[in-house]
Amino acid sequence: MAPLRIPRVGIGGPVGSGKTMLIEQIVPILSANGYKVSIISNDVISKEDAERMRQNLATDKGLLPEELVIGVATGGCPHTAVREDPSINLSVVEELELKYDFLDLILIESGGDNITTTFSPALADYFIYIIDVTGGDKYPRKRGLGIENCDLLVINKIDIAPYVGADLKIMERDAKIVRRSKPTVFVNSKTGQGVDAVVSFIITDVLFDTLPKASKNIN
Amino acid sequence: MMYMNIEIGNEDVSLLQMSDSFFPTGLYATSSGLEALSKIKKLTKKDIFYYISTYIKQVVGPTDCTALGNAYESCMKKDLSTLLNVDESLYSMRLIEETRSASTRSGNQLLKCVSIFVKHKKMLRDYQNAIGNGNATGIYPVSFGVVSWSLGIPKNKAGLILLYGFTVSVVGAALRLGIIQHFDGQKIIHELRPVILKSVLDNIDRPISSMWQFAPGLDILQMKHEAMSSKMFIT
């Protein structure tokens, strides 16, 4: 029998936009709701992000086994690994599906890239693109495939917007124009402000509000 | 009026498709240990040439190309049992876990991709089923042999594609590591032509019992690469 397909969420964004920290905020909330998650972290240069998450989420907080935080080096080609040739990531996903059928969700973090990043639909069912205010409030209107096409746009580091001259109202307005009916969430992933909304979108739009597999087994 | 040209056919286009780095197998993320070597010493263009040349002569030729040739022949004879033996033999000769893992992942993705557009080839299907049942690994050179046969690519040309693909993957890694620039890379590929050709001719018809490799220095480099905490490539 073929293994069950586990829903996947791709998270992309420029270097330093806060992808890893967003994941570190998302996972505890999903876990508190009973969902079992695995993380594949594509790192361009090192496995530091994967190891940081493993230490933080697995070793320190015990939210998931260490072997479910997987670092994948991508040969200096972050966009290739999630779009043109996602075969490495697909292999890892398939191995997870075979070995850990209790998982409710797989998060795939791309390496830092530019605003043209997109995820192959063969790899991710849902694409979150994250930018941060330090790039300036021009970013939503600058468009780019990542900003335009993602399922959920996350604008991070809202707490420092005044210090970098970024007007959040302009960003909100432009995001609405560029993305039309597709949602945008403003967050501070350091404190967790706004992250609940991101998780709600995941539970509704990716998991379709289904109960965690673990709770179904109990019942 | 139907125009017939006997000089080119569908299998030639398939050959181009399979030799194109655009084909999705994840090989762009491999450096075959070059990344580890680049941390130990400052490398030159000549070093890159000799690195690839040694790898082809001592490893990829006598193992991967031999395995490909035997896999191809097994498909021609519809001999699944021998094909699985070739798969097992090559897998057991991949000494370093990182390289074994990368090769089987690429091989499996190759089979999955090709099986979307190649139907009605029983050996391709049977090999995939064997992998699904845990009776084969799908290691890349063997998968490539099966796929090449399925697409009607001549065996010796399949060998060429395999070794050319290996060459380009390491040259690409050298480029991205900043060791060489893009013209250097093309010059290296050009100068490796006789090495690639000779290795294919020496190994494509080699029997599986004569498969060999000897490059302990390269093995040690791959082991060092496995242990690196910060790396750009998966091998």
Task: Using the predicted structure, report yes or no on whether residue B193 has a pLDDT greater than 50.
Answer: yes
Residues in B touching A80 (Cβ below 8 Å): 28
Nearest to A11 by CA among A20, A103, A52: A20
Region A35-57: what's the mean pLDDT? 80
pLDDT band of residue A219 (cuts 50, 70, 90) is very low
Q: Is the ipTM of this complex over 0.85?
A: no
| Amino acid identity, position A96 | L
* CB–CB contact B105 A81 (8 Å): no
Percent of chain B with pLDDT over 90: 87
Residue found by looking up tokens 């707490």 in the block: A159
pLDDT score recorded for residue B227: 87
pLDDT score recorded for residue B173: 94
Task: Using the predicted structure, report yes or no on whether residue A198 has a pLDDT greater than 90.
Answer: yes
Chain B residue whose CA is closest to A122: B113
Region B11-30: what's the mean pLDDT? 91
pLDDT score recorded for residue A60: 84
Residues in B touching A72 (Cβ below 8 Å): 234
pLDDT score recorded for residue B144: 98
Tens digits of residue pLDDT in B131-140: 999 999 999 9
Which 3 state secondary structure label does DSSP give A191? coil
pLDDT score recorded for residue B1: 47
Weakest-pLDDT range from A139-148, B144-153, B184-193:
A139-148
Residues in A touching B35 (Cβ below 8 Å): none
Query: Is the pLDDT higher at A54 or at B60?
Result: B60
**What is d(CA A110, CA A123) in angstroms, rounded to the nearest whole number?**
11
Region B145-150: what's the mean pLDDT? 97
pLDDT score recorded for residue A146: 92
H helix or E strand, kind and range, residue A108:
strand A105-109
Q: Are B197 and B164 in contact (CB under 8 A)?
A: no
Task: Using the predicted structure, report yes or no on whether residue A55 has a pLDDT greater than 50.
Answer: yes
Cβ neighbourhood burial of B79 (10 Å; 0-12, 13-18, 19+): middle
pLDDT score recorded for residue B160: 97
Mean pLDDT of chain B: 94
pLDDT score recorded for residue B3: 53
Pairing of the two strands A105-109 and A126-132: unpaired
Query: Is the pLDDT higher at A112 or at B64?
Result: B64
Q: How far apart are the first and last CA of chain A?
A: 24
Residues in A touching B225 (Cβ below 8 Å): none
Task: Using the predicted structure, report yes or no on whether residue B194 has a pLDDT greater than 50.
Answer: yes
Residues in A touching B26 (Cβ below 8 Å): 85, 87-88, 91
* CB–CB contact A77 B24 (8 Å): no
Tens digits of residue pLDDT in A8-26: 999 999 999 999 999 999 9
State how far residue A55 is from chain B, nearest Cα, in angstroms. 15
**What is d(CA A202, CA B176) in angstroms, rounded to the nearest whole number?**
36
Mean pLDDT of chain A: 91
pLDDT score recorded for residue A1: 65
pLDDT band of residue A115 (cuts 50, 70, 90) is confident
State how far residue B188 is from chain A, nearest Cα, in angstroms. 20
* CB–CB contact B28 A77 (8 Å): yes
State how far residue A85 is from chain B, nearest Cα, in angstroms. 5
pLDDT score recorded for residue B101: 93
Pairing of the two strands A37-43 and A8-12: unpaired
Region A153-180: what's the mean pLDDT? 96
**What is d(CA A195, CA A126) in angstroms, rounded to the nearest whole number?**
16
Query: Is the pLDDT higher at A96 or at A114?
Result: A96
pLDDT band of residue A4 (cuts 50, 70, 90) is confident
Tens digits of residue pLDDT in B47-68: 999 999 999 999 999 999 999 9
Region B131-152: what's the mean pLDDT? 97
Tens digits of residue pLDDT in B72-96: 999 999 999 999 999 999 999 999 9
Task: Using the predicted structure, report yes or no on whether residue A207 has a pLDDT greater than 60.
Answer: yes
State how far residue B44 is from chain A, nearest Cα, in angstroms. 20
